[in-house]
């Protein structure tokens, strides 16, 4: 009896009482990471929150006139910030759904042709590992008026050539195409993982129930993939709201060819580095933070609803 | 609907990448009478599921033909075959409620919504699941999920119902209950049914006919009682029946069987060739414990109570055997007794080929 009790205790160590002593080891192990987190995430975050409320903050002296909502009222009356919010939202609404639809089709295709998966893995990983500078060069060439591939293709469709990067009318289109392209690999990989988690028995059952490929796609694949679809779209919404790299890559760190397309992060960068308005930069960061926090909440609510298994 | 299978064969490229072909079903021919329940029985890996999936159309055949009521359906896709399929793990769509699951085959057929709900509820009542229509599969017990799976398979009024080991995920008590339910549902709906199982007891308790397979080859296809009373070969005799049939290995002589490790000759009415190596197989209930002629000396090993009788474990020579005796038969462990064998329930097989004499 005594022996048996000993054994039982051995397997139940997760139930052990938490004491100050038992916490030392995990604490020591996590300390380096904790310190990093404090210095590089928590502290800057608190500083940024405070900064966004400091009025007339001077970077060099560190002096400011007092706490208040001045920075917020200022950026909301700045047409560039409003432009940035609008363009960013529009960008999110175009890029996220489009890349999602393309990714679902590609992922379902890849999931069906097991043999080609190895080849495609390289192909769709490429955008993820290619440096932004190289990608920028490729895209600038793709968008080239005379020799670019995009104009070559629309030439086939009988459409006139477009000044992709020079014409302000096409700034949004250009950064959206770039955005969709760069979003694909991550999205496809996540969706493919989600698809591989679907038990193929449901497809067999549906076939036996008389379903054709189209019925299976809409009635089985999409609903069972829904948790992954929701997860990826929320992650993509959050990352799309933070768009600014395309402006650097395509327009050489300018917000569009004629300073016509600000994004929230670009606005933040501009206020910080070029205009030295640290308070404005912090306030715009806070606005973005609230938007993204709302999406995180939304994600939590929806994922709970799509738990079909236990 | 009558189902006719002719020389049905399925070969797979072997899973271990040797490039060899595995014959999962080997030139199998049979005819399933309309409205009957046929059990497809055999040890695991003998090709039962493969056979079922070819009947449903999920799996293309390698060669051979399948006819439904004399119509060749060999190359038809599942949706054109009017079959209902039930899986071992039920395979209910996890994102659909019970009602939606049952309605799904009708939805695919574009049956109007009101009509499909009406039909689904009707079937749900038949399988006694009507109180759970709004639940998700994860909120049901195994037995309830099984009922839903059967309802989903039946709702489109299939001409053929196919069940692939439908009970093996249930606990013992529920398994007995559900097999009676399946029997009832099959009788009520009158649909020709093929029921796959590796459990001979399940097969004998539920079916009208049993098709017994081994390594893709059909061993016997006959009425359930017939396969027990009249096994075609040693494998069949051994596979069907619980406790399993007694097997005495020995050499045939005209005066009886010279059992291995035993000096006496065991009397046997069945004829074979002098000197053949044979297996004399006797059902436990065909063993008689008596003191008259035609008896062989035996030693009692063990006794188990099985309700009104005793199950006696005894030895003849080196061979372990079992039989039933009355509770008032006075024996105990180590007793020397005499046993005989009834003609009904005793069979003689060739030791090498397993063929019956
Ligand atoms: N898709 C497949 N690829 C290769 N071999 C298979 C495949 N399906 C079944 N087999 C083989 O065919 C044989 C019969 O399998 P199966 O019909 O599932 O047996 P059962 O249902 O009687 O247990 C087994 O040897 C199995 O390994
Ligand atoms: Mg099987």
To the nearest whole Å, the CA of A207 is away from the closest chain B CA by: 6
Instruction: Ligand 1 pocket test: pick from B10, B14, B20, B22 the residue with the most ligand atoms within 8 Å of its Cβ.
Output: B22
Residue A265: the pLDDT is 93
Q: Note whether B252 and B232 are same-domain residues.
A: no
Q: How many CA atoms within 13 Å lie on the side-chain side of A250?
A: 31
Hey, are the CB atoms on B91 and A205 less than 8 Å from each other? Answer: yes
**Interface residue of B76, B101, B104 to substitute, partner A, most A CBs within 10 Å:** B104
**B309 and B203, same domain (yes or no):** no
What number does the ligand 1 atom closest to the CA of B25 have? 14
Q: How far is the CA of B44 from the centre of ligand 2 (A)?
A: 7
Q: Read off the pLDDT band of A280 (50, 70, 90).
A: very high
Same domain, B335 and B202: no
Write the CATH number for B286. 2.40.50.140
Atom of ligand 1 nearest to the CA of B51: 17
CA–CA separation, B12 and B256 (whole Å): 47
B84 touches chain A (CB under 8 A): yes
For every residue of B192-208, which 3-state class applies, written as one string? EEEEEECCHHHHHHHCC
Instruction: Name, in order, each residue with C-beta under 8 angstroms of B104's C-beta and a sequence gap of 6 or more.
Output: A206, A209, A211, A219, B93, B96, B152
Phi, psi dihedral angles at B63 (to 5 degrees): -155, 170
The total number of structural domains that make up chain B: 2
Residue B238: left (phi > 0), alpha (psi -120 to 50), or beta?
Answer: alpha
Give the residue carrying structure tokens 């038992």. Answer: A22
Is there a single domain that holds both residue B266 and residue B217?
no
Chain A contact present for B270, CB below 8 A: no
Instruction: Classify B102 as helix, strand or coil.
Output: helix
pLDDT at A3 over 50: no
Which ligand lies nearest to the CA atom of residue B164 in the structure?
Answer: 2
Which residues from B are below 8 Å from A223, CB to CB?
95-96
Confidence of residue A10 (pLDDT cuts 50, 70, 90): very low
Same domain (yes/no): B264, B160: no
| B23 in Cβ contact with B11 (< 8 Å) | yes
Distance in Å, CA B221 to ligand 1 centroid:
21
- The b-or-e profile of B16-54 (16+ CB within 10 A means b, else e) is eeeeeebbbbbebebebeeebbbbbbbeeebbbbbbbbb
pLDDT for position A206: 94
pLDDT digits (tens, 9 = 90+) for A175-226: 999 999 889 888 998 998 899 999 999 999 999 998 999 999 999 999 999 9
Closest atom of ligand 1 relative to the B46 alpha carbon: 22
CA nearest to B55 within chain A = A208
pLDDT, greater one: B292 or A272? A272
- Residue pair B221/B212 in contact (Cβ under 8 Å)? The answer is yes
Domain spans, chain A: 89-309
Q: Which two tokens stand for residue B297?
A: 């000396």
Residue spans of alpha helices (H) in B216-306: 224-229, 234-239
Domain boundary among B174, B204, B239: B239
Q: What is the extent of the structural domain holding B281?
A: 246-350
Same domain, B258 and B319: yes
Q: Which of these, A67, A114, A101, lies nearest to A191 by C-alpha position?
A: A101
Q: How confident is the model at residue A124 (pLDDT cuts 50, 70, 90)?
A: low
Based on the fold, state whether residues B100 and B228 are members of the same structural domain: yes
Q: Collect all residues of chain A within an 8 Å Cβ-Cβ radius of residue B77.
A: 207
Considering only CB atoms, which chain A residues are within 8 Å of B107? 219
Contacts of A207 in chain B (CB under 8 A): 58, 77-79
Q: Please report residues of A whose CB lies closer than 8 A to that of B109.
A: 210
B135 with B157, same domain: the answer is yes
B104 close contact with A: CB closer than 8 A: yes
**Could you say which of B205, B239, B273 is where a domain stops?**
B239
* Token digits of residue B130: 């009507």
- For residues A147, A152, A158, A159, the Cα torsion angle rounded to the nearest 10 degrees is -60
User: Which residues of chain B fall short of a pLDDT of 50?
Assistant: none
- Residue B357 falls within a domain, yes or no? no
Band (A50; pLDDT cuts 50, 70, 90): very high
Token duo for residue B51: 């056979």
Q: What's residue A4's pLDDT?
A: 44
Residues with Cβ within 8 Å of residue B217, at least 6 apart in sequence: B26, B28
Predicted confidence at residue B251, as pLDDT, reads: 93
- Determine the residue of chain B that is closest to A206 in CA distance: B105
Whether residues B233 and B335 fall in one domain: no
SS3 content of chain B, % helix, strand, coil (to 5): 25, 35, 35
A89-309 — its CATH code? Answer: 1.10.3720.10
Scanning every residue of chain B, which has its alpha carbon at the shortest distance from the alpha carbon of A216? B108
Question: How far is the C-alpha of B78 from the C-alpha of B56, rounded, in Å?
Answer: 6
Residue A63, pLDDT > 50, answer yes
Q: What are B349's strand-pairing partners?
A: B279, B356
CATH number (domain holding residue B139): 3.40.50.300
DSSP H/E element including B347: strand B346-350
Same domain, B338 and B196: no
Q: Which of B239, B270, B285 is the last residue of a domain?
A: B239
Residue among B79, B95, B137 whose CB faces A210 most closely? B79
d(CA A206, CA A222): 14
pLDDT band at A310 (very low <50, low <70, confident <90, very high): low
Cα–Cα–Cα angle for B101, B107, B112, nearest 5°?
A: 125
At B102 the pLDDT is: 96
Q: Which residue has the higher pLDDT, B250 or A310?
A: B250
Read off the tokens for A195: 């698809």
Q: Does ligand 1 have an atom closer than 6 angstroms to the CB of B49?
A: yes
For B29, the token pair is 């021919």
Residues near ion ligand 2 (Cβ under 5 Å): B 49
Q: Average pLDDT, whole number, for chain A?
A: 86
- The answer to whether residues B213 and B276 belong to one domain is no
A309–B94: do the CB atoms touch at under 8 Å? Answer: yes
- Domain contains B355: no
φ, ψ of residue A249 to 5 degrees: the values are -70, -45
Q: Which two tokens stand for residue A300?
A: 């939590």
How confident is the model over A218-238, as a mean pLDDT? 92
The Cα–Cα gap between B91 and B193 comes to: 19
Using the predicted structure, report yes or no on whether residue A130 has a pLDDT greater than 90: no
| Through-space distance between the first and last CA atoms of chain A, rounded to whole angstroms | 37
CB-CB contact of A263 with A92 (8 Å) = no
| Dist. CA B17 → ligand 1 center (Å) | 15
Report d(CA B257, CA B276) in Å as an integer: 10
Task: Please indicate, yes or no, whether residues B300 and B188 belong to a single structural domain of this protein.
Answer: no
CA distance B16 to chain A (A): 17
Q: How many CB pairs under 8 A join A and B?
A: 65
């Amino acid at each position: 009896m005594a022996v048996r009790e000993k054994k039982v205790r051995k397997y139940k160590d997760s139930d052990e009482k938490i004491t100050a002593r038992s916490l030392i080891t995990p604490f020591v192990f996590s300390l380096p990471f904790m310190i990093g987190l404090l210095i590089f995430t928590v502290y800057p975050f608190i500083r940024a929150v405070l900064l966004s409320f400091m009025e007339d903050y001077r970077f060099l002296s560190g002096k400011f006139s007092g706490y208040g909502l001045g920075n917020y009222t200022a950026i909301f009356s700045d047409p560039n910030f409003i432009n940035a919010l609008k363009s960013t939202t529009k960008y999110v609404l175009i890029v996220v759904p489009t890349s999602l639809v393309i990714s679902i089709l590609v992922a379902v295709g890849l999931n069906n042709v097991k043999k080609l998966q190895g080849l495609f893995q390289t192909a769709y990983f490429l955008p993820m590992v290619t440096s932004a500078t190289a990608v920028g060069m490729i895209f600038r060439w793709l968008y080239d008026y005379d020799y670019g591939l995009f104009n070559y293709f629309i030439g086939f469709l009988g459409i006139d050539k477009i000044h992709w990067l020079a014409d302000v009318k096409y700034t949004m289109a250009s950064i959206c195409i770039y955005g969709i392209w760069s979003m694909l690999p991550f999205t496809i990989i996540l969706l493919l993982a989600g698809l591989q988690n679907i038990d193929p028995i449901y497809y067999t059952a549906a076939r036996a129930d008389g379903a054709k490929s189209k019925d299976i796609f809409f009635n089985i694949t999409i609903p069972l993939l829904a948790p992954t679809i929701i997860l990826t779209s929320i992650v993509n919404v959050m990352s799309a709201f933070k768009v600014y790299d395309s402006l650097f890559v395509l327009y050489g760190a300018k917000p569009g060819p004629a300073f016509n397309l600000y994004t929230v992060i670009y606005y933040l960068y501009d206020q910080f580095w070029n205009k030295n308005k640290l308070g404005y930069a912090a306030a715009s960061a806070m606005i973005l933070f609230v938007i993204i926090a709302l999406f995180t909440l939304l994600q939590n609510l929806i994922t709970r609803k799509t738990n079909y298994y236990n | 609907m009558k189902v006719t299978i002719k020389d049905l064969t399925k070969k797979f490229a072997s899973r271990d990448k040797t490039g060899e072909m595995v014959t999962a079903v080997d030139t199998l021919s049979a005819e399933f009478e309309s409205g009957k329940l046929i059990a497809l029985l055999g040890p695991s890996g003998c090709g039962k599921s493969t056979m079922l999936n070819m009947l449903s159309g999920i799996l293309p055949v390698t060669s051979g033909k399948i006819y439904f009521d004399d119509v060749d359906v060999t190359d038809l896709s599942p949706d054109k075959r009017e079959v209902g399929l039930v899986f071992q793990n039920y395979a209910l769509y996890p994102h659909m409620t019970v009602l939606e699951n049952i309605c799904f085959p009708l939805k695919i057929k574009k049956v109007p919504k009101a009509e499909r709900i009406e039909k689904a509820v009707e079937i749900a009542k038949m399988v006694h699941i009507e109180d759970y229509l709004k639940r998700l599969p994860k909120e049901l017990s195994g037995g309830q999920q099984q009922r839903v799976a059967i309802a989903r398979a039946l709702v489109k009024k299939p001409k053929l119902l196919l069940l692939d080991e439908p009970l093996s995920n249930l606990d013992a008590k529920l398994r007995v209950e559900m097999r009676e339910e399946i029997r009832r549902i099959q009788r009520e709906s009158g649909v020709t049914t093929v029921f796959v199982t590796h459990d001979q007891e399940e097969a004998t308790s539920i079916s009208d006919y049993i098709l017994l397979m081994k390594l893709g080859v059909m061993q016997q296809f006959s009425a359930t009682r017939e396969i027990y009373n009249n096994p075609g070969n040693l494998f069949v005799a051994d596979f069907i029946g619980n406790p399993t049939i007694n097997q005495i290995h020995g050499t045939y002589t005209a005066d009886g069987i010279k059992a291995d490790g035993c000096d006496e000759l065991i009397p046997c009415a069945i004829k074979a060739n002098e000197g053949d190596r044979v297996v004399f197989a006797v059902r436990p209930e065909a063993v008689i414990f008596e003191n008259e002629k035609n008896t062989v000396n035996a030693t009692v090993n063990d006794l188990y109570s099985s309700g009104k009788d005793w199950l006696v474990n005894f030895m003849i020579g080196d061979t372990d055997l079992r039989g039933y005796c009355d509770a008032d038969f006075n024996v105990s462990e180590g007793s020397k007794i005499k046993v005989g064998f009834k003609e009904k329930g005793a069979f003689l097989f060739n030791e090498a080929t397993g063929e019956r004499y």
